[in-house]
Amino acid sequence: MSNTVNAKLYKVQDFIVKEKDDNEAVIQEIIDSYLKRKENEFIPINLSNSVNIEGWNAKLYVFTTGIKVPSWYDFLASIVDEESELDNIKVQNSTFVLFVYDHESIFIISRGYHGHSLLDEYIEPFFGMDVLSKLVNKNSTEIRQLEERGLFGIELGAQRYFRENYSLAFEDDFGKIYKAMLASINEDDFGKLGIIKKKESTTKLSINGGSSLEISSKFDYEELINRLKKIKELLKLEGVEFNQFYRLPLSNPINKELNDCLLDYAYECLINNENIDFYNPNLMHYVRSTETEFFNKKDGNYCEKEYSASSNYIEIMKLLKDNNLIDDTSLETFKESLDKTQGHFRENDSGEFIFPSKLSYWISGEVEYGGNKYFKLDGSWYVYRDSLDHNLNEYFKDFDFESYAPIIPLESWVKKSEGSYNESFKNKEGFIIGDRAYLNYIEIADLIRVTDDKIYLYHVKKGLGQDTRVLINQINNSARFLSYSEDEESIEGIKSYYKSVSDKHYNGGKIKLKENNRLKQLSEKNFIDLFKSNRKICFVFAYGSDNVLSIKDEIIASNSRIAKLSLIYIIRDMKRTDYELLFERILLEE
């Protein structure tokens, strides 16, 4: 028998350890939580005093399943002479988890199927990857090339940000990155991981890093403690940061406190007449909705609003207060009314209302809690590192927005809502109104400007805040659907869009376009020919602001990481299309 083991190493998320400030309480919570979820009880096993080494302590738990038979047991039982002879294929599965901790960290080693299931909600999702990143030789040709392509760090996170939880494994080039990373880890790094060579001939070890760290080298308990001390030192070093933020599990115990903090902030914004991100959690559908109904089932109050996705938080709250659906007399009455009032919407005038959701779930935003920073998007909480702000701002410092602006600026935005501002361009030189006109329920543009060589598709928003991501989603979806419609032989998509624009802004007749001071009518064929011509199509991210800073400095000064991540996201994605992405700040005169 050997007193060594080869097991996966995990780490409890630092913010949980700091929040609880009681490691034994954290460990007990993990065990109790699993019992509630799975009704599987991990049994504590007393340890000898020898596990207490240099400030490190340990707690051991084990779990053994009942006797199980394989799925093919019944087949064998049907053909054997004596079923009792099959008793030796009935098995029990055992799992152990050993929590090893000092005053500021909790690590875990585990063997057996149920260990990861027990720990999943509490462990650092990229612990193993982070450890390996500290060993990467950043000067190697492969690593430099990959960094230059923008696959590391914040850009990758932004690329996948609205689609999946952030992980390198979602990137098509992940295999290449991972191989290049492991190739740069050599024998000299063994000591940095606390690995003791058992044989002088050992020059290579298999090392895997994801949510856990796994090394093909057995260790005893004392060597485990040495590895943990070395790894703690290693994690303090600067390396290639693969994950700037990650999503918290929905059942994470801190979520309730975070939600309370966010609702407190939403109330403060309402009282101070400030906007906050306020959208149905099913954002992709909500942004193309035609009508939203807000209702309270208990008292029967309700109201409806057309195209509410185009209205901001303060505007919707005023409507809800006027209809006795929101009570802002106090923080308590505000929270209570948010929970009692729901909102659902439909995507066309004759469709059913879908996706009902409490208004307390509609609020997204950013909070600081327990010394950490979090943001909530569409029902999910994310925690992010301090380095996120630095990396975001460094990206924008190198981006020259002024060189990506339309040649002719839009007129100033004077005391108008978004809809009124867009409508003010009707029958002006080169403009077609597209606000709330849809192609496959996607808004292609608020404004369309036609010149001799270009078609500008403006997406217009007042202000540069957290709801910037809505405008970003509109541009991204618009580019995707327009590209598809251009490729259709029948051009049915653009025909459909022509009708939508006509019905919405031109009384169902021909679209009007002023050229050289002459107002002419565009037939469906004329409209299609515009998009089939050699004109370059340019999507314009346009926002109203009275800020005196440059666009770059205004973005950097913004406190909204959501807005910044959204911008990086669209800049990367639009580079993969045939379209041009431009930026314009409209002078806002309130």
Please write the tens of the pLDDT for every residue from 183-192: 555 666 667 7
- My answer on whether 228 and 303 are in the same domain is no
Where is pLDDT greater, at 489 or 57? 57
| Range of lowest pLDDT (29-33, 47-51, 249-253) | 249-253
Judge whether residue 94 has pLDDT over 90: no
- Give the pLDDT of residue 102: 94
Q: Which helix (H) or strand (E) holds 75?
A: helix 73-77
Give the bridge partners for 583, in sequence order: 541
What rounded mean pLDDT belongs to the chain?
A: 82
Return the pLDDT at 178: 53
375 with 476, same domain? no
Task: Give the highest mean pLDDT range of 79-88, 115-124, 473-482, 492-501.
Answer: 492-501
Tell me what percent of the residues of the chain surpass a pLDDT of 70.
82
pLDDT digits (tens, 9 = 90+) for 12-47: 988 788 878 899 999 999 898 888 877 778 899 999
Residues 433 and 471 in one domain: yes
The confidence score (pLDDT) of residue 173 equals 45
Same domain, 402 and 537: yes
pLDDT for 143 equals 54
Statement to judge: residues 279 and 210 lie in one domain: no
> Could you tell me whether strands 57-64 and 94-101 are parallel, antiparallel, or unpaired per DSSP bridges?
antiparallel
Q: What count of residues does the chain have?
A: 590
Give the integer Cα–Cα distance in Å for 428 and 431. 6
Within a domain: residue 154?
A: no
pLDDT of residue 516: 92
Examine residue 173 and state whether it is found in any structural domain, yes or no. no
Region 57-77: what's the mean pLDDT? 87
Alpha-carbon distance 443 to 465, whole Å? Answer: 20
Q: Looking at the domain assignment, is residue 121 inside a domain?
A: yes
Distance (Å) of CA 574 to CA 389, 402, 562: 23, 18, 18
Residues 409 and 550 in one domain: yes
Instruction: Name every residue whose Cβ is closer than 8 Å to that of residue 517 and which is 6 or more positions away in sequence.
Output: 429
Q: Are residues 328 and 436 in the same domain?
A: no
What is the crossing angle of helices 468-487 and 492-505, to 10°? 130
Query: How far, in Å, CA of 546 to CA of 142, rounded?
Result: 45
Q: What is the pTM of this model?
A: 0.63
**Is residue 432 in some structural domain?**
yes
Band (360; pLDDT cuts 50, 70, 90): very high
The number of distinct structural domains making up the chain is 3
Is residue 459 in a domain?
Answer: yes
Q: 414 and 347 share a domain? A: no
Question: Is residue 236 in a domain?
Answer: yes
The answer to whether residues 375 and 484 belong to one domain is no
Q: Does 154 have pLDDT greater than 60? A: no
Domain presence at residue 177: no
Quote the CA–CA distance of 571 and 155 in Å, as a whole number. 10
The alpha carbons of the chain give a radius of gyration, in whole angstroms, of: 29
Residue 218 and residue 270 in one domain: no
Residue 460: which domain range? Answer: 395-589
- For residue 87, the Cα-to-chain-centroid distance in whole angstroms is 50
The pLDDT of residue 381: 83
* Position 144 confidence tier, pLDDT thresholds 50, 70, 90: low
Return the number of other C-beta atoms located less than 10 Å from residue 68's C-beta: 11
| pLDDT at 288 exceeding the cut of 70 | yes
- Token match 């044989």: residue? 199
118-127, 243-252, 365-374, 477-486, range with the lowest pLDDT: 243-252
Q: Which residue among 359, 383, 407 closes a domain?
A: 383
Is the pLDDT at 137 greater than 70? The verdict is no
Q: Under DSSP, is residue 363 helix (H, G, I), strand (E, B) or coil? A: strand
Residues 32 and 128 in one domain: yes
Within-domain flag for 27: yes
Q: In this structure, are 327 and 236 located in the same domain?
A: no
Measured distance CA(392)–CA(476) in Å, rounded: 20
